[in-house]
A and B are shown apart, each in its own frame.
Chain A
Amino acid sequence: MPSLKNIRRRIASVKSNAKITRAMKLVAAAKLRRAQERLMQLRPYALRLGDMIAELAHQSDSTAHALLAHRPARRTLLLLLTSDRGLAGAFNSNVNKAANAWMQEHKTQRDHIELRIVGKKGRDYFRSKNVEIGTVYTDVLTNVTLERSSQIGREVVAAYIDEKFDEVLLVYNEFRSAMSQSIRLDRVLPVQAAASVEAEGGTTQLTADTLYEPSKAEVLDALLPMNIDIGIYRALLESVASEMGARMTAMDAATKNAGELLARITLQYNRARQAIITTELMEITSGAESLKG
C-alpha cells in the first residue's frame, strides 16, 4: 500500500490536471462558438456561388476553361487539413489515417501523389511515416482568413493550369455538431459537373440560355478560381470548428475521468489513514494493558 504522502501527492496532481482540462474545455467551447458562427455565415454564400458554378459548368463543355478540363488522373495533389495542436481526441489521427489510406490505395494507379498539409499534426504524422511532403502551412490556423485561403487556392489553381497535377483532392474534418465530425474527401479540381453540386443542396433550376456579362469566358475565368478559394476557406472553417468540437468533447471526458479517479484515490487515502489510526490505537491500548499488569 502506498504511503499517505504518496497518495496526497497523487491527489494534488490529479486535481491540477483536472483544472487544466476544465480550462481547455472552456477555451475550446468559446472558440467553437466563434468558428461555428463564421461557418454558418459563410454557408449561404458558398451555396449561392455553387449554384452559379453549377449553371456555368452545365452550359460549358470541358474545353471552355482550363479548370474544367478532365485529364486522366496520373498526378494527384492531396491537400490535407489538420490542426497545430493535439489533445483533440481522434480529430487528427482520423483525418491523417484517411489521407494515408487513400494514398496507399491509389499509389499504384498514380505516377505521383503530392501531399500539401495544413497544420503541424499532419506534418508530424507523415514525417514519422517517412512520406515525402510537399508544402506545410503552419501559419494558417491561428487566424483563418479568406485572404490566406485564397493564396493557397491560387497556388493550387496555378499548378493545375500548368498541368503539374491532373486532380486536386481536399481531405478534412467536416463539422456536424460539437460532438461529431466526419471525414470528407472532396474533389476540388477538375470542377465537378452540375449534378453533383446540386446533390449537395443547390437550388438552381438549370436554364438553357443564360446571358453572360461581360462574356461567358470572363465570368468563367473569374468565378471558377473564386469558387475554389471559397471551397478551401470553407473547408478550413469546417476543420477548425471540428477541431474545437473534438477538443471540447475530449477535455470534457478527461475532466470527468479525473473526477472519478479523484474519488477513488480519496477513498484509498481515507482507508490508509484510518488503518494507521487503528494501529496506533491498538498500540496505545495494548501498552496501557501491559502497564496494568
Chain B
Amino acid sequence: MHIEIVTPIGVKYSGTARGVIVPGALGDMGILPGHQPLLAALRTGACTVDVEGHDQVVLLVDGGYVHVTEGQKVVITTELCETAQDIDVEAARSALESASAVLAQAREDVSTATWTLKKRAVDLATTRIRVGSTKGG
C-alpha cells in the first residue's frame, strides 16, 4: 500500500509500506492493505510506517487527518510532521520540563487557554522525545 504524508510545506513522506500505525484522535489505529475506506481525525503523536524490506520509520504528526481509499492508499494531511532526524531531543526534554512545571502547579490561577497550550506543548515534547530517540535505530 502507498503511504503519503503531506503538510502545507510539502510532501514529507511518500512510499510503499506493509502497514502503518497512526495516532487517531480516539486511539492508535493500525491500517493494513484492504482496510475499509476511512477518514479520521488524528491527535499529536507518533506515526509508525512499516516500510517494505526495511525497518520501521517513525514520524511525528501534529494532528490532522488520515484518509484511506480503496484500501491501498493512505494519505495523511497534517500541519506539522517531523522525522527523527528533524528532532532535537535535548530541546524537547527541556521544553517538556518547563511545560510540565507549569501544568503541575496549575490550579485556578492558570487560564483554560494557557492550560490547553501547555498540554499541547507537553504532548508535542513527549512525542518528539519518543520519535527522536528512534534515531539510528
Contact = CB atoms under 8 A, between A and B. Distances in A.
Interface of A: 38, 41-42, 44-45, 48-49, 51-52, 55-56, 146, 204-205, 207, 209-214, 218-219, 222-223, 230, 233
Given A205-B69, A213-B40, 17 more contacts: A41-B9, A42-B8, A44-B6, A44-B11, A45-B8, A51-B67, A55-B67, A207-B70, A209-B37, A210-B36, A211-B38, A212-B38, A213-B25, A218-B41, A219-B40, A219-B41, A223-B65
Contacts of B41: 213-214, 218-219, 222
B44 interface: no
A214 B25 contact: yes
Contacts of B8: 41-42, 45, 146, 230, 233
Interface of B: 4, 6-11, 24-26, 29, 36-41, 65, 67, 69-70, 75, 77, 79
A40 to B, nearest CB: 8
Nearest to A46: B8
Contacts of A219: 39-41, 65
A-B pairs with lowest CB-CB distance, top 8: A213-B40, A41-B10, A210-B37, A207-B37, A211-B38, A45-B6, A44-B6, A41-B9
A49 B77 contact: yes
Contacts of A44: 6, 10-11
A42 B6 CA distance: 9
A48 B75 contact: yes
Contacts of A205: 69-70
Contacts of A204: 69
A52 B76 CA distance: 10
28 contacts: A41-B9, A42-B9, A44-B11, A45-B7, A48-B6, A48-B75, A48-B77, A52-B39, A52-B65, A52-B67, A52-B75, A55-B37, A146-B79, A207-B70, A210-B37, A211-B38, A212-B38, A212-B39, A213-B26, A213-B29, A213-B40, A213-B41, A214-B40, A214-B41, A218-B41, A223-B65, A230-B8, A233-B8
Contacts of A146: 8, 79
